[in-house]
Homo-oligomer: A and B are copies of this chain.
Amino acid sequence: MKKYKAYCFDLDGTVYRGKKGIDSAIRFIHQLEEEQLDYFFVTNNSSKTPEQLQKVLADIGIDTPANRIYSSALATAKYVVQHFKEAKIFMIGSDGIRTALEAEGLDLVDTDEARPDVVVMGIDRTIDYMKLVKASLALQTGAKLIGTNEDIRFPSELGFIPGNGSFVNLVANVAQVEPVFVGKPSPVMLEVIQQEYGFEKEEMVMIGDNYDTDILCGIRFGCDTIHVNTGVVKTEIVLQKDQKPTYCIEEL
């Protein structure tokens, strides 16, 4: 396999599953450290801050600075600031997206107190009927819908569980609007890494288990891609796609 300068890893299904590290990926990352090659984590997980993700990685033996972790939460906050600077925002999500939106100085409101201009949704493990009602109604009075990512499901120790995309699509169908998704397969996060570190696209590679998010993100950005068979989309499915990854491997 070609050597790259910047290795960009998905997390869930690529580096760990649930709380359990994937040994081959951990070994591969330790090897990159020995060779002093750059690596980054590019995740659609918007529920945790980079610091919280840093802790999760430390628990499986990977010590990395928080600024090497790029989450869809950060990218979403940047997108909202660019497109809706003075907007009132109704948010469904966890610490990661809340912290990112607040850090950009955005005005978070409840629908009881103000009519939101934007509904931002990231994965929320306390999501309930009333939150979905509030989002659905806000969209019907003209709010725009932005999702951190469009993952329908993601793997846990016990099986697949609902992802943020499931809930974004639910309220979009109820209100009959089209959502905007910021996370992978949108290339925004890879663009930020490239700009911050000055890599050429040919020096970068995107590594992940999910064809529809990780691999398409790399393809749309325009860098090489590596599919690993350790997560949500199996190699046999990936090989049927029109646009194939640069490499398909069992594990790293």
Contact between A152 and B174 (Cβ–Cβ < 8 Å)? yes
User: A142–B175 Cα gap in the complex (Å)?
Assistant: 32
Does any Cβ of B come within 8 Å of A160's Cβ? Answer: yes
Tell me the number of copies of this protein. Answer: 2
Q: Which residues of B contact A132 (CB under 8 A)?
A: 162
List A105-146 residues whose CB lies under 8 Å from chain B.
124-130, 132-133, 136-137, 140-141
User: Contacts A129-B125, A129-B126; is A173 near B158 (CB within 8 Å)?
Assistant: no
Q: Which residues of B contact A162 (CB under 8 A)?
A: 129, 132-133, 136, 170-171, 174
How many residues does chain A have at the interface if contact means C-beta atoms less than 8 Å apart? Answer: 28
Contact between B173 and A159 (Cβ–Cβ < 8 Å)? no
User: A189–B163 Cα gap in the complex (Å)?
Assistant: 35
Per-residue 0/1 for A10-23: is the Cβ within 8 Å of any B Cβ (1 yes, 0 no)? 00000000000000
Interface on A for B, CB 8 Å cutoff? 124-130, 132-133, 136-137, 140-141, 152-153, 158-163, 166-167, 170-171, 173-175
Could you show 9 A-B contacts with beta carbons less than 8 Å apart?
A124-B129, A128-B129, A129-B162, A133-B162, A136-B159, A137-B158, A140-B160, A166-B174, A170-B170
